[in-house]
Amino acid sequence: MLSSTNESYEAVGRLAAGVAVDQALDVTDPEAWIGVDVGVRELAWRRPELFHSNASLSGRRLSRDGDASWPTVTWTGTPGEAELALALCHRDGRIREAALGHAEERPALSALVVIRCADWAGPVRERARALLATVPAHRLAAHAPLILRIGRRPRGAFAQELLTEALRTGPATHAMALLDSSDKATRRLAYRVAVERGLLSPTRLAQTAARHHDVVVQGLCAEAAVATLGEGTSDNFTEIVVPLLASRQPRVRSAGVTALRRTGRHLEAEPYLTDRSALVRACARWVLRQGGTDPAPLYRALCVDPAERPAAAAGLGECGTREDADLLRPLLAHPVPGVRACAVAGLRALEAVRADDVRPLLEDSSAAVVRQATAALLPWADHLPPQHLRELLAEHRPRHQQVAAARLLWAGGVCV
């Protein structure tokens, strides 16, 4: 934060010295503009000598007239770009409003007009909004990251709504150009608009959902891709559903599994009953039920030997009955760590945990098993033997065992 503040002060100092705006700060960085806006007001108080030679800040070329409540301020000449930038950030609202009268002629200062649209002073705010409403759509799109940041302010919705409407109704190229923006909020808005306008093909939607790093974009594109599938038909199955099912992201895989019902391939959801994600497992169960198949017997069969599909134990707990706990308890001693962890998760889901059965797993070599055992034992923390837990705090114990013991001791009201 200190470094950012110093950079803002340096940029303001350069502007006060008459340096061109595009050389005084990084005009592509929304934080730089916001920093200058704040920095001008702070430095005007702390270091007024910086602005002695600047007409807009010293007032030598400004005249005032009108009533005492909000007198009008006008320039006696044409301000330079750097001078105008400082005036648009001036602590006196009348000077900010006067500066807006010259901002239309300076497209390079559109960013400061955006900021003034959320100004606390009504006359400044209204004049800035009237000016921004005349700005071409491509210039609004260029300032999208800044507009969306200002949109989070109490009076910042105007510019954001203007941008959104411009992207929705303007040339498609404006929205498409923002899809690869490095700014998260801008990228998400662009994808929302592109999906609403149908600018992306089903294949591209599916591929984007499967590969994109932004979880919001993944969800938007996955839902839109599935929506293009015809009810009861397998058209475009390979291009749309297959990439979704292959995604590493649970939300995207769940959309692909759900699409199996839409395409009439209910039974193909069976492999996803044991997906590592609880969300995907739930979707697989729903699809199978929609096709007339009860998933519980499938889970019971898988739990006979779940070494290849450990999540079967967790899935049985998610949809089984209390009687199924007898199938899961023997799995607490299974040689595969994943099975042991999922067995604990299944017992928790069935609300059938027995502390004496699970407590030995606190000494398990697998961190995943110990985490599940700890979560299962927290409701019984005050009944666990403190001495056993203290033994797990010994230095020679693995860290995951030490952490588990500390959590349970604290939960049981025992000082570590």
pLDDT in tens, 168-226: 999 999 999 999 999 999 999 999 999 999 999 999 999 999 999 999 999 999 999 99
Query: Lowest-confidence range among 73-77, 87-91, 368-372, 394-398?
Result: 73-77
pLDDT reported for residue 60? 45
Cα–Cα distance, 165 to 153 (Å, whole number): 19
Distance CA 304, CA 16 (A): 77
The confidence score (pLDDT) of residue 134 equals 93
d(CA 126, CA 130) in angstroms, rounded, equals 6
Q: Tell me what the pLDDT averaged over the chain comes to.
A: 90
The answer to whether the CB of 87 falls within 8 A of the CB of 106 is no
- Whole-model pTM over 0.85: no
Tokens matching residue 82:
């750097």
Percent of the chain with pLDDT over 70: 91
pLDDT value of residue 70:
45
- Calculate mean pLDDT across residues 64-80: 58
Question: What's the confidence (pLDDT) of residue 68?
Answer: 44
Where does the pLDDT of residue 74 fall: very low under 50, low under 70, confident under 90, or very high at 90 and above?
low
288 CA to centre of own chain: 32
Residue 38's pLDDT band, with cuts at 50, 70 and 90, is very high
Beta bridge partners of 73: 64
* pLDDT bucket at 2, cuts 50 / 70 / 90: very low
pLDDT at 318: 97
Q: Measured on CA atoms in the order 51, 56, 61, 63, is the torsion positive or negative?
A: negative
pLDDT of residue 92: 87
Q: Give the total residue count for the chain.
A: 416
Q: Are 150 and 114 in contact (CB under 8 A)?
A: yes
At 352-382, the pLDDT tens digits run 999 999 999 999 999 999 999 999 999 999 9
Q: What is the pLDDT of residues 253-291, one digit of tens each?
A: 999 999 999 999 999 999 999 999 999 999 999 999 999
61 has a pLDDT exceeding 60:
no
Question: What would the DSSP string read from start to end of 74-109?
Answer: EESSPPPHHHHHHHTT-SSHHHHHHHHHHHTT-GGG
- pLDDT-based confidence at 62, cuts 50/70/90? low
pLDDT digits over 222-256, tens only?
999 999 997 767 678 999 999 999 999 999 999 99
Helices (H), 104-179: 110-116, 122-132, 137-142, 144-150, 157-169, 172-177
Q: Which amino acid does the sequence have at 132?
A: L
Q: How far is CA 92 from CA 11, 57, 256, 305, in A?
A: 20, 10, 57, 76
User: Which value, in Å, is the radius of gyration of the alpha carbons in the chain?
Assistant: 31
Query: pLDDT band for position 51 (50/70/90)?
Result: low
Give the pLDDT score at 256.
97
Arithmetic mean of pLDDT, 124-151 = 95
Provide the pLDDT confidence category of residue 351 given band limits of 50, 70 and 90: very high
pLDDT of residue 78: 73
